[in-house]
Structure 1
């Protein structure tokens, strides 16, 4: 109890005191207050707080929600887009999808990937002449610049992406 009272008094004096009084450093959001209890009493230490840097999570893959979403995020995109037309029931799609996502992620934002389920977005599949799945389109500045149907290995996917980026 006595230690809490002492701490409260100390903090009140430190916070209310101006820097010119006694050379005291004011508490800021970047100041770390360290308390140590010992038999001799309570020791309070002020030290600069550690900064924690965070990065924004930038997803390179997204699911297309509807026609306007496709128009906005794919056709109007400044970044080249790989469009994966797939279906839940398609075995090869389940193999290609994760492989393609991994290869797109390795490009560090130079290209993004849109996933279109043909059962949910039949109109888009018809518009882009998708006759089999998986079908992958490379779209740059709103135009289809490359396309493949079926499964590809990682080397072929890397070459496909390099051609789109370059």
Structure 2
């Protein structure tokens, strides 16, 4: 069955209902009764990660119209403007309000931290990624750009909930 539908102002009110029908037909809804598990556990993590990112973006668009929410590309801040062969830097969510910008990198992992020698730490690649986005977006070093790693909550005992200031960036 073909599910690549285009929604516009004439049919967008049906988008959620059609999406629920898709989940039902694909067997992804496990139950309609109250409980802890709503989606089948066999959804792959990459699919759920993308759904998580999209949900957060659409949440801000709908619930916070005072903020401009987008998933934008961030240009590399090269000294000479030469960007050939540099990869695309894509934010999951970028929120702008007046002169302030928040870049959110949404993460959906079974384990939000890594553990080595009985010490839980954040994934270093995630920190490098968000810091790179923030530094390249704040080309004039105003300090008006911040970054956030937003992890989906898990049942783990250790959950990240920290603020850091690195190189003048929050």
TM range (shorter): under 0.3
TM-score by length of 1: 0.23
Structure number having the greater strand percentage: 1
Structure number having the greater helix percentage: 1
